[in-house]
Chains A and B, each alone.
Chain A
Amino acid sequence: MKRCAILVAGTLLVSAGIASAQNVNDAQIASIVVTANQVDIDAGKLASSKAANPEVKKFGQLMVTDHTGVNKSATDLVKKLKVTPEDNATSKSIKSGGDENLAKLKKLRGAEFDKAYVDHEVEYHQQVLDAMDKTLIPSAQNAELKALLVKVRPAFVAHLEHAKQVQSSLGKSK
Chain B
Amino acid sequence: MRVRRVIVGIVLAVLTLSVGQDAGATPPKRRTHTVVMEGTRFQPETISAKPGDTIVWVNKDLFPHSATSAAGKFDSSVIAVGASWKFTAKTKGDFDYTCIFHPTMKGRLRVQ
Contacts and interface: CB of A to CB of B under 8 A. Distances in A.
Grouping DSSP codes into helix (H, G, I), strand (E, B) and loop, the A interface class, with mixed when no group exceeds half, is helix
A65 B102 contact: no
Grouping DSSP codes into helix (H, G, I), strand (E, B) and loop, the B interface class, with mixed when no group exceeds half, is loop
A10 to B, nearest CB: 27
Given A65-B63, A65-B64, A72-B62, A154 B41 contact: yes
Contact of B102 (A69, A70, A151, A162): A162
Contacts, number: 42
Nearest to A155: B40
Q: How large is the interface on B (under 10, 10 to 19, 20 to 34, 35 or more residues)?
A: 10 to 19
B45 to A, nearest CB: 13
Contacts of B101: 62, 65-66
Given A65-B63, A157-B104, 15 more contacts: A62-B102, A65-B101, A66-B62, A66-B101, A69-B64, A70-B63, A73-B62, A151-B38, A151-B62, A154-B41, A155-B39, A155-B62, A158-B104, A161-B104, A162-B104
Interface of B: 38-41, 61-64, 81, 101-105
